[in-house]
Amino acid sequence: MATTNRDVVAALRAQDMRYTVLTIAPDRIRVDPIDVITDAFTAADEPARVVDLLADPGTSVVTLTVTEKGYTYLPGSRRLDLDDPGVAHDLRDPAPRTTVGRLARGLLRRAQGDGAPLTVLSCDNLAANGTVLRGLLTEFAGALPGPEGETLTRYLDDAVTFPNTMVDRIVPATTDEHRAQAAAAGFDDRVPVPAEPFRMWVMEDRFAAGRPAWERAGAILTDEVAAYEAIKVRFLNGTHSLLAYLGMLAGHPLIADAVADEPIAAAAWRLGDEYRPTVTVPAGFDLDHYRDDLFERFANRPLGHLTRQVGSDGSLKLAQRVPAAVSWHLEHGHTPRTLALLVAAWIRAVGEPGSVTDPAVGRPVEPAADRLTALAERTSGPEDLARAVLADERLLGGGSTADPRFVTAVGDLLGVLRKGGVRAAAAEVTP
């Protein structure tokens, strides 16, 4: 296992690569020891080792969980950010720093060796994650100088598969409380993984050189990944984001606090109503039951899921959760006001200093925070700010979100948030 977190590596090594999973339900906690990891190291400290393992013909499947910002792409276009310093470094230096660069350099070495087939399996919240990752690597190969780029491009086309996947499980950041819960169950674990009881893993069965029998553990192998993914990214992740931003603005540290706030919960449910016609339901999937379960999952207070954690990296996450649904509504003659509220709440909570007043809530990590704040400082009003944000390719620009109808709705609701607060804005979108 290669990671960017040195503390996790140190803890796993001290614990002989063992850790625990805390399955946290409202009325109980189950603690399960896990001992499937055989080694762990920090990719930034050992880039050559990452490349060596990727090139090793004994490696047949590579899985990734790096979150949206780890892919160094432009949110608006989902193209590789060639201006990113890390990407620029990786194109000229064989000791890579980025996820895409590490993969590319490892696959290039593999292609230059025996060229054994490989599957690269992204487990992140990117829509069409495998397809996007293939595109980013293809762009990287196209930017490599000389024959290296041609060699990598041919190998990607001929021997590498990128199945699309969907992972649905709420996993909050580990805290000292979780460590204490593991200790109470008899496990001295510095890196326990807290998680809700619900879990779903869906993937395409497109593996270049075999795979583990993951279906025996409940994984779903299907050609309907896109349908499952759209439901999860919109209903779970999109609703989660709205709860997070409205929750932060209302002074709620936990997602469970936000969903217990009736006006916020009503707006979150209304967002699901807007999402519903934009998705195709997979065969045998009960969407009504899934929606009902979601609000029980959000209300899981012992899970301790922080609004600021859910609200982190919004400029990248909302690019997965907003534009496609907005496009559907605009094409059908509607302006989706709850989706507009989601964008307005993100701008307000992240881009306007002082809008989150409760110190217990804290502020989310947002790579575009300075960009948002600068736009807020040089625009004259909420609609001007909405227009600037929705035209910026590094934010949510480059598509349906820049439509004047949606821009006006976002600006209107941003103005309501500024003047009347969360409850007034929630009332604007609920019957």
Question: What is 225-429's CATH topology?
Answer: N-(1-d-carboxylethyl)-l-norvaline Dehydrogenase; domain 2 (1.10.1040)
User: What are the boundaries of each domain within the chain?
Assistant: 2-168+194-221, 225-429
Residue 3, pLDDT score: 65
Q: Beta-carbon neighbour count of residue 410 at 10 Å?
A: 31
Q: Which amino acid would we find at residue 279?
A: V
Residue 330, pLDDT score: 97
Phi, psi (degrees; rounded to nearest 5) at 385:
-65, -45
Phi, psi (degrees; rounded to nearest 5) at 375:
-65, -40
Q: What is the pTM of this model?
A: 0.89
Q: Apex CA 393: angle with CA 351 and CA 380, to 5°?
A: 45
Q: How far apart are CA 182 and CA 172, in angstroms?
A: 15
**Domain at 2-168+194-221: CATH code:** 3.40.50.720
Q: What is the mean pLDDT of each run of 10 residues along the chain (431 residues)?
A: 82 96 96 95 92 96 89 86 95 94 97 96 90 97 94 97 96 94 95 97 96 96 96 96 98 98 98 98 96 97 95 92 96 97 97 91 92 91 95 80 95 98 98 82
Location of structure tokens 């809700």: 196
37 in Cβ contact with 3 (< 8 Å): no
Residue 393, pLDDT score: 81
Q: Apex CA 322: angle with CA 320 and CA 324, to 5°?
A: 80
Count how many Cα atoms sit within 13 Å of the Cα of residue 168 in the half-sphere of its side chain: 28
